[in-house]
């Protein structure tokens, strides 16, 4: 969420309707390659017949979820890379002092900052130089992450620190008045109001000229969500009172605008403020908050989605994913199918037509091409896959799965989890990535201790505090085991415990052991991933004849008693995935694991790894090297396939899950991308 690209995006939106125009106005870091010709598309229906043409009226009618995740307090992650990621993140969060996090809020309200040192980066205080208008956003994420950490591990220190922050932020809210709670003055909202809908002056900003503020509702949403999470997951009653104040403020602010002007205001990134308003409506049973949430429906964005049309080109990805999560929540509270269709189509399209092999999406924070033009998208710049987009898409997946428990959702979730989330956090420090670059010769870059606080740092602390939230789900018939993660499940209501022991994804087997108070009749459904060949299952040591197709569930419906044990084998194999618009541009996977070729670490320094938002890797068609910023050239290693089966020319190497090409001009060693740290790598290859 760089300020530059988001700003120019919003400016472009304000001035034009055509997606192609938006792309042309991006501050491209590289000259655009030749435009990909889009297939002709039928014209949009006239505005008056579009799904959201009529006024949106909220009527509370909760839908019935087909499946539910087990509460986080009933599931514990117990080992493997997942526990290591959880611990690393917990360490990073633990090193952050509450008074430092509160600095900007107290300063904004004229309260004592208690001698704390302010943070840097996007949390730099008002007198800082960079990114200060977003200040406060990370504190919202931190509250959510603390609540998640408490729910997932029982960490009382994390809860105590966040409880203190809620109490201190309540004082800030009291002082600011009217329910408003922020680390910046209301003046940002005045500018948002007065500048929305006005044409933006061309050229660089002039001193003294009022500027569109940097996404104030985006930041409000993070704090709002943090308070709701502290209430829902950590039982903090005061946090709900603070959230109600914030909801009242947002209701009053938005109610004072005409619908037309609100639509103009929604051109500036506003995050998932509607989602928080819907959640507050659900908790309080007060429809007023949901009606306020409806005012944050950006009609120009949701209309084509409800018609199942991809008009995403040129849009800023992480501005829009949270709006779709809000639409999903809106459907859950009302049954309004328009919102269902927005969420359902958006996920299908983005996961299938706009995601790379890792599950990640975006380039330079945008979708810059037409769908299924991913090779062209990849070449637009080196800034692929903004991490917070993956975080939010996985969040959306959970909603869709609850409506329709199709294992395909967990094929996507697992691939993104293993390649784009595990593997983008450093296990030594808990630092996380912003862009996860797929340019050949890229390397992973990370935030530093206290001078970054990007959007992705915020979603990062949440991500690794909730790795237990999607492993086990249930319905009336029993349990769904969706992820293979070492973990314990305690289904208290049934008196049944499951212990999952596995080295997955380092190994392709898992075992589940049952403990019961008394024998329990229930179904245990095991997800058989679509990437495996033939799954094999043993019950109490005896191989079962029943099996299930990849991409379905294997159901074991019986009476379970203490000591019952399931052993599942889901063999991995080497596969190729080519770009839809360039069959020669290929990536290799082993099971769900994307493989990366090791290109060495020559020229890499710590300052090129810790601190930057993405790798300073220069494409041949890129801009000239910046003398003040050390850059490394891309490394393109062409490969020649010796057959359609990759196993014929990519052979297992000594280490497990490691392969080596044979018969190439330059042979390369391939191993899981999620273990590639401090090395240059390639994921996509030109294969002839
Ligand atoms: Zn981000």
**How far is the centre of ligand 1, averaged over its atoms, from the C-alpha of 393 (Å)?**
12
Model pLDDT, residue 128: 62
Backbone torsions φ then ψ of 660, nearest 5 degrees? -140, 135
Q: At what angle do helices 137-153 and 156-176 cross, to 10 degrees?
A: 150
> Is this prediction's pTM over 0.85?
yes
| 596 Cα: distance to centroid of ligand 1 (angstroms) | 23
Distance 46 CA to ligand 1 centre (A): 35
Relative to beta strand 552-560, strand 520-528 is antiparallel
CA dihedral in degrees (587, 588, 594, 598; nearest 10)? Answer: -90
Tens of pLDDT along 133-146? Answer: 999 999 999 999 99
CB 681 within 8 Å of CB 672: no
Handedness of CA 645, 649, 653, 658 (dihedral sign): negative
Does position 680 have pLDDT exceeding 80, yes or no? Answer: yes
CB 114 within 8 A of CB 103: no
- For residue 114, report the distance from its CA to the centre of ligand 1, in Å: 31
The model's pLDDT over 569-598, given as tens digits with 9 standing for 90+, comes to 999 999 999 999 999 999 999 999 999 999
pLDDT digits 0-9 by tens, 394-421: 999 999 999 999 999 999 999 999 999 9
Q: 434 C-alpha vs ligand 1 centroid, how far in Å? A: 6
Please tell me the distance from the alpha carbon of residue 439 to that of residue 686, in angstroms, as a whole number.
12
The DSSP annotation for 345-394 comes to HHHHHHHHHSB-TTS-B-BTTB--S-TT-HHHHHHT-S-B-BHHHHHHHH
Say if residue 226's pLDDT is above 60.
yes
Length of the chain: 688
Please tell me the least confidently modeled range out of 423-437, 473-487, 632-646: 632-646
State both tokens at 426.
Answer: 């450093």
pLDDT tops 70 at residue 24: no
> 471: CA distance to ligand 1 center in Å?
25
329 CA from centroid of ligand 1 (Å): 22
Instruction: Tell how far the Cα of 5 is from the centroid of ligand 1, in angstroms.
Output: 12
Q: Using 50, 70 and 90 to split pLDDT, how confident is the model at 15?
A: very low
Q: How many CB atoms lie within 10 A of CB 607?
A: 11
- Largest distance between two CA atoms of the chain: 77
pLDDT tens sequence across 75-103 = 999 999 999 999 999 999 999 999 999 99
How far, in Å, is the centroid of ligand 1 from the Cα of 388? 4
| CA–centroid distance, residue 459 to ligand 1 (Å) | 7
Do residues 504 and 572 touch, judged by C-beta distance below 8 A? no
First vs last Cα of the chain: how many Å apart?
36
Beta strands 617-618 and 632-633 are parallel
Tokens 């294992």 correspond to 407
Residue 396 and residue 321 in contact, taking contact as beta carbons nearer than 8 Å: yes
Distance in Å, CA 454 to ligand 1 centroid: 6
Alpha-carbon span 385 to 434, nearest angstrom: 8
pLDDT of residue 6: 42
Q: What is the mean pLDDT of residues 26-51?
A: 57
């Amino acid at each position: 969420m760089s300020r530059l690209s988001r700003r120019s995006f919003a400016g472009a939106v304000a001035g034009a309707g055509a997606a192609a125009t938006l792309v042309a106005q991006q501050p491209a870091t590289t000259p655009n390659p030749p435009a990909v010709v889009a297939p002709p598309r039928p014209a949009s229906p006239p505005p008056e017949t579009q799904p959201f043409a009529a006024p949106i009226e909220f009527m509370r009618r909760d839908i019935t979820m087909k499946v539910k995740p087990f509460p986080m307090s009933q599931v514990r992650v117990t080992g493997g890379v997942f526990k290591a990621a959880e611990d690393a993140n917990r360490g990073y969060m633990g090193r952050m002092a509450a008074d430092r996090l509160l600095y900007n809020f107290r300063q904004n309200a004229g309260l004592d900052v208690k001698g704390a040192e302010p943070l840097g980066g996007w949390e730099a205080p008002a007198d800082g130089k960079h990114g200060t208008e977003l200040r406060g956003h990370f504190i919202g994420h931190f509250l959510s992450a603390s609540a998640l950490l408490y729910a997932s591990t029982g960490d009382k220190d994390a809860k105590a620190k966040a409880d203190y922050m809620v109490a201190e932020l309540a004082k800030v809210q009291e002082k600011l008045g009217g329910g408003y709670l922020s680390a910046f003055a209301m003046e940002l909202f005045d500018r948002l109001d007065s500048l929305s809908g006005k044409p933006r002056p061309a050229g660089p900003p002039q001193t003294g000229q009022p500027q569109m503020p940097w996404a104030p509702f985006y930041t409000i949403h993070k704090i709002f969500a943090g308070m709701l999470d502290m209430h829902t997951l950590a039982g903090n009653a005061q946090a709900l009172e603070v959230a109600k104040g914030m909801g009242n403020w947002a209701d009053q602010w938005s109610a004072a605008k005409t619908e037309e002007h609100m639509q103009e205001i929604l051109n500036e990134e506003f995050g998932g403020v509607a989602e928080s308003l819907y959640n507050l409506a659900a908790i309080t049973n007060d429809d007023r908050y949901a009606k306020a949430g409806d005012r944050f429906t950006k009609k120009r964005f949701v209309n084509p989605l409800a018609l199942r049309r991809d008009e995403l080109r040129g849009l800023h990805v992480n501005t829009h994913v949270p709006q779709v999560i809000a639409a999903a929540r809106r459907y859950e509270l009302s049954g309004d199918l328009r919102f269902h269709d927005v969420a359902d189509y958006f996920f299908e399209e983005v996961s299938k037509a706009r995601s790379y092999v890792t599950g990640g999406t975006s380039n330079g924070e945008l979708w810059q091409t037409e769908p299924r033009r991913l090779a062209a998208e990849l070449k637009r710049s080196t800034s692929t896959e903004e991490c917070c987009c993956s975080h939010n898409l996985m969040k959306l997946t959970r909603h869709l799965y609850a409506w329709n428990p199709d294992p395909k959702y967990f094929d996507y979730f697992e691939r993104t989890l293993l390649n784009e989330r595990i593997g983008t956090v450093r296990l030594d420090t808990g630092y996380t990535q912003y862009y996860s670059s797929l340019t050949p010769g890229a390397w992973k870059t990370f935030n530093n201790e206290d001078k970054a606080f990007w959007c992705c740092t915020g979603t990062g602390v949440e991500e690794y505090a909730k790795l237990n939230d999607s492993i086990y789900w249930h319905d009336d018939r029993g349990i769904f085991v969706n992820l293979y993660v070492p973990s314990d499940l305690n289904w208290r209501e049934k008196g049944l415990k499951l212990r999952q022991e596995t080295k997955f994804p380092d190994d392709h087997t898992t075992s589940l052991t049952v403990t019961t108070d008394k024998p329990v009749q229930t179904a245990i459904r095991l997800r058989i991933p679509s990437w495996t060949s033939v799954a094999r299952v043993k019950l109490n040591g005896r191989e079962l004849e029943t099996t299930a197709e990849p991409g379905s569930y294997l159901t074991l419906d019986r009476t379970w008693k203490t000591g019952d044990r399931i052993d599942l084998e889901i063999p991995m194999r080497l596969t190729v995935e080519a770009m839809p618009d360039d069959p020669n541009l290929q990536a290799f996977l082993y099971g769900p694991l994307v493989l990366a070729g090791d290109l060495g670490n020559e020229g890499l320094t710590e300052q090129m790894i810790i601190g930057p938002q993405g790798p300073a890797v220069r494409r041949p068609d890129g801009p000239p090297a910046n003398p003040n910023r050390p850059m490394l050239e891309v490394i393109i290693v062409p490969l020649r396939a010796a057959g359609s089966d990759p196993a014929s020319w990519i052979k297992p190497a000594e280490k497990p899950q490691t392969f080596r090409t044979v018969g190439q001009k330059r042979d390369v060693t391939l191993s899981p991308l999620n273990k590639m740290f401090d090395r240059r790598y390639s994921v996509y290859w030109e294969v002839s």
